[in-house]
Structure 1
């Protein structure tokens, strides 16, 4: 078995065996193919779905797409010339929502104003500064952080 290389990296043994199994399934599918059937893989993890898509990129007569959601997501393989039924095309077009060109400005800032965690030494230093009252040095350092 030759180890296929994806994105410049060699695959681990299990993934290599999976790709060879997929190639065998594809060969069987192409021999039996009546151009009206599809090859539907079982639900697989995202990495294995990715390997199927990458494997089929080398076969120009076939195309792939994923269907389902979450842990039920599956890969469908079909001939490139197979067209989608109109009902599926219509459903796909309806489900696609155009993204706004300008992001809304009402989003919360990415960073909180106050740190979520402050180390004990910093908390103790801050409490000592607050208990002593403002001094000239602390006023300057605090004013530099306010903007």
Structure 2
């Protein structure tokens, strides 16, 4: 079964309005991604976006440094102990399966990236409330 068929069957138990809302969520150029890109640019780093030749088409690739920055939405990637990652009450099992699938895919992609010599940093959506800490983490990660 293709990914699109998996998605359609996953959403079949979800109310139509919820389904439309969730399917409208973008996968690239999200607000959190734009914030991190802006930070990196202000720090003077140059990067590539969504390289399709790398596993999972990573959000931000810094080829010169062999570093990758992934920006994860707390809900969609199942950020543990984060209030943004709370599953909806309706169809909780459906959403749990979706999030677990996303987490398994993330783990596979990160393992493969590291196998190919890339260092990977995950920036969670909720961390962007403390922008100075995120900037420090990014600087430490890239220069380290």
Task: Point out which structure has higher relative CO (alpha carbons under 8 A, 6+ apart).
Answer: 2
Q: TM-score, normalised by structure 1?
A: 0.25
Q: TM-score, normalised by structure 2?
A: 0.26
Task: Find the structure with the greater CA-based Rg.
Answer: 1
